Amino acid sequence: MTLDEIYKQATKKMEKTVEMLKHELGTIRTGRASPALVEGIKVESYGTTLPIKQIASIGCPEPRLIVIRPWDRNMLPEIEKAILRSEIGLTPSTDGQAIKLPIPPLTEERRIDLIKMVKRIGEESKVALRNVRREAMAEIKRLEGISEDDEYRAEKEMQKFTDEHIEKIDETLTHKEKEIMEE
């Protein structure tokens, strides 16, 4: 393995960590409607389990309302049950065509809890980045024929990659915290 391959592999893993964080934060309920809140909920459908997004369209016609329109109306009760079983804390209502999920405003206490959760998830992502850096540094040390100077430069480069990705995580966390604090 070459130094460039190690850099590419580490950067790819770091990018994936940031993307996973963004996806995970998308599932956290804020005071605003978002399809990401429900699209991963699993529904029993004709003997198999599928995410809602594969059996219905999900839209947000208003800032505090999610509307789920199944392609097969017979799936309405199953989707409703799946939403009730999930831990999103929303109560579905149906009109025979679609399921509506009104998003109630968050209490101050709930906002504080959500921000704590967001920070914890962010810290876990930063730890994952540091683990990627540590693994890459171990790979660099195992390289044959690399001088101490090159190893030192590689260490600096890996730290630069790590710092850039930690900055992306911090930006994502700041954005999510603002979103949670909005009315």
In the chain, where the domains are located: 3-27+107-181, 35-102
Q: What is the pLDDT, as a whole number, of residue 47?
A: 83
Q: What is the pLDDT, as a whole number, of residue 183?
A: 59
Q: What is the pLDDT, as a whole number, of residue 106?
A: 80
CATH number of 3-27+107-181: 1.10.132.20
Say which residue, 59 or 90, is predicted with more confidence. 59
Q: What is the pLDDT, as a whole number, of residue 110?
A: 81
The predicted model scores a pTM of 0.71
pLDDT value at 163 more than 80: yes
Residue from 58, 49, 52 nearest 40 by CA: 52
CATH architecture of the domain with residue range 35-102? 2-Layer Sandwich (3.30)
Query: Is the CA virtual torsion 101, 106, 109, 113 positive or negative?
Result: positive
Q: What is the per-residue pLDDT across 32-71, written as a single tens digit (0 to 9) for each?
A: 788 888 888 899 888 888 888 888 999 999 888 999 999 9
Predicted confidence band at 161 (pLDDT cuts at 50, 70, 90)? very high
Q: What is the per-residue pLDDT across 112-159, written as a single tens digit (0 to 9) for each?
A: 888 998 999 999 999 999 999 999 999 988 888 888 898 899 999 999
**What one-character-per-residue DSSP string does the chain give?**
--HHHHHHHHHHHHHHHHHHHHHHHHTS--SS--GGGTTT-EEEETTEEEEGGGTEEEEEEETTEEEEEESSGGGHHHHHHHHHHSSS----EE-SS-EEEE-PPPPHHHHHHHHHHHHHHHHHHHHHHHHHHHHHHHHHHH-TT--HHHHHHHHHHHHHHHHHHHHHHHHHHHHHHHHHH--
Q: What is the per-residue pLDDT across 3-37, written as a single tens digit (0 to 9) for each?
A: 889 999 999 999 999 999 998 888 776 777 888 88
Say which residue, 29 or 77, is predicted with more confidence. 77
Structure tokens at 165: 């990705």
Q: Looking at residues 155-168, what average pLDDT do you find?
A: 94
